[in-house]
Chain A
């Protein structure tokens, strides 16, 4: 709940959507995947992850299903909905625009 988590909030939604674009995953898996892919640079706090998942579910961007995971444990799997896929594309485009604009400024100034 510090200032840095709040900055991350919008980005976190994007990261979750992107991660789920490949395959359905449970919460812990999502956190692990983001951590690995970012080479441990991004640590996802559970306190942010789960509320974000519930929020995305309510917005209809992802859907959740209970299923059996590896070694037969019950887990809640999240997958992207059609609406979520569209949202992901939009947010990716936004992100591209923003980051290239920031990069431009950082190079020039």
Chain B
């Protein structure tokens, strides 16, 4: 019989039971009459013999099949009635659960969107990221020529493509503006499986150097500049002064953001890049790749294949390719970066919050079961079995769970949206975070799951004394074991809350350490921005570009509010990196580039030190006289000095820079030593290339100098407000040339803040969860102490009648509460010491067992718990002995 049939037969089977029992009764009555008993008496005796008809019916229902669904329905109705009857309890329980389930749903929806969902491309498992592995960089940039050889010589990829971030100034259609762009090889979009909304993608050959200039535009730009008009194909737009023909439009829902690729407004074939080093096999130009594995090829096979390919290149081009391999990683892994441990940590934290919420509600149910004990005793006396009552209680707790889950879901949707908007985090794939079937399933599962978890213990507990004790009114008899269970609950809550507090505490300490760290420069009142010169500067010679730079420097320095300015053409701390190779003068030239010494390269103006307030240790910094006509000079940081010159004085020593060889005799004199700055972020500096070298912008080779016509960056030290200054600078720039664009302005403090946004994100969330845990567990202990005092009003009354002072009562009650809190805190500390090791990777400057945190956190917990106990304890102090005694 199917489930449904049984469901619909329910009514008739109920009827059948009644019929059958009535039949029995009549037969017994007839039998009694036959035995000579008068009719009325015969019926009375039959009924007596029969016993409680309702109880028999209940038993029969229970024994017959299809039973559970029917009772479920009546249990649900009954449960809803019970919930409506005590709205205070119901609201507190549902809110508590909503917080716990909501937090879990929110974090899970993030985990789901970011970690679990596949990339939105066909056969996403075939997609990998490609980089060159080099001695100093595990995933370094690929040179254009190496990429072409990889593409030609591999046997395991169906396609390979590269991209490079860039920006173009768009002129000739409205006010000049700077567009974010990607330089791409032809296959990039077709490899991903992206189809154009209009026109076509690039075809092979169009990405070669010297091919006709064409461009793909985003749906956004198409709408903004061309009103989504279909006749945009074949039109020409002016980028950096050159005409580019539009051949296609990228769909609006295209979304890819990796460490080396951003969704952009325009996409240009890489062959259009005006960079003299593009065809230099040894140059690291920030080019990274993606590829699609052939169907059935594993990533290991692809790696082995690429090993072979790169080995052959090393043999063919030892000078540039020695030590260079290929790094092949799943694209998804590449996109996620270090976010996975962070998300798992947060998921663990919200689980704790949920557990605390469960314990709290279990506690509430337990306390309430006292007042419901009579109800159950009556039901049991009327024939309800124990299993039946447990089912009833579980139905009620699951109802609570589902109600809490529903509310939690709304809470989660709201909180996730707000958090993603306001938290300063660069979460990859954040756009994919939202509700889907998996998140809903998760929420339903935990709602029902927690309903069972927090309902089971109170259900079992509250039924124990049902029959024996409760009916004869000595309600106090059953509370001994209940009391113990509640105490265990409080201990568990305190322990869980302490673990979360410790985690949050460690993150707070980490951020405090990071903020107090000296990055080697003073980020306050420093502003950085990019400037794209007028297209008319394109194709100018080095001399013109230098003149332009000097003029720009002079004009910006004269802008009101600007105290000092410097162009920065290469690396800039925490926002962009550039490296160069060198060897010491007097040593033989190393055979290959990768045998040379690497250093982070800063190409700057004389005022750079003043802008950044980096400390000069010895010698001098640059002067305006260190120009294209003067001998080549450099300033190094103390790390490079220590590493390559040891205790010798580096001033006056000479080095040879690979890309500066056209200057005089090819050597560069070291004229000064400055403090090391944190190039790679506040926390992760030490793991990366440390040596730093400064070169005067005016001494760059001609080939490098002309690149400035593509765009430059600058840093200024300012007085006043950043928005005001940037307005003034824009003004200055516009007066210089109306086609010149200032963009991408950021204060140095923002940049630093962004560099630790991951940790800020986890601190804010862990802090929120810990606060939630503290709140919930305080409510928990408050409830238990209140309950205990209620139970002991009589005892307290006697004590006071016998001369106990209010202070004694307070001590008694507080002592009772604090005992539990201390036990919980002790267990929590032990657990936190074990668990905090899991988050060691997120910490900086503090150990996972930081004594300060582990001393402070229990104090906070004890303080809050003390307060939570104090409120009911004060009520206990006010107990009037006479009233308390009169109760008996």
Contacts and interface: CB of A to CB of B under 8 A. Distances in A.
Interface of A: 26-28, 32, 45-47, 50-55, 57-58, 66, 73-76
Given A75-B23, A76-B20, A76-B23, A54 B50 contact: no
Q: Main secondary structure on chain A at its contact with chain B?
A: helix
B850 interface: no
Interface string B1-37: 0000000000000001101110110111001000000
Contacts of B64: 54-55, 57-58
Given A46-B51, A47-B52, A47-B55, A54 B23 contact: no
A76 to B, nearest CB: 5
Secondary structure of the B contact surface, majority rule: helix
Nearest to A46: B50
Contact of A51 (B16, B26, B49, B59): B59
Report, as a range, how many residues of chain B touch the other chain.
20 to 34
A46 B21 contact: yes
Nearest to B46: A46
B23 A28 contact: yes
B65 interface: yes
Contacts of A66: 16
Contact of B23 (A26, A32, A52, A58): A26
B65 A51 contact: no
A58 B19 CA distance: 19
Contacts of B50: 46-47
B384 to A, nearest CB: 12
Interface of B: 16-17, 19-21, 23-24, 26-28, 31, 49-52, 55-56, 59-65
A51 B63 contact: yes
A50 B21 contact: yes
Contacts of A76: 16, 19-20, 23
**Closest 4 pairs (CB-CB, A-B):** A54-B63, A51-B59, A55-B63, A28-B27
Contact of B24 (A27, A54, A58, A74): A27
B59 A47 contact: yes
A47 B51 contact: yes
Given A47-B51, A47-B55, A76-B16, A28 B60 contact: no
Given A54-B64, A58-B63, 10 more contacts: A28-B23, A28-B28, A46-B49, A47-B50, A47-B52, A50-B17, A51-B63, A53-B60, A54-B59, A76-B23
A45 B27 CA distance: 15
A89 to B, nearest CB: 23
Nearest to B28: A28
A27 B59 contact: no
Contact of B62 (A46, A51, A57, A73): A51
Contacts of B21: 46, 50
Contact of B51 (A45, A52, A74): A45
A58 B65 contact: yes
A54 B21 CA distance: 12
Contacts of A58: 63-65
Contacts of A47: 50-52, 55-56, 59
Contacts of A55: 63-64
A32 B61 CA distance: 23
A62 B64 CA distance: 12
Contacts of B61: 54
B25 to A, nearest CB: 9
A50 B23 contact: no
B24 A46 contact: yes
B268 to A, nearest CB: 75
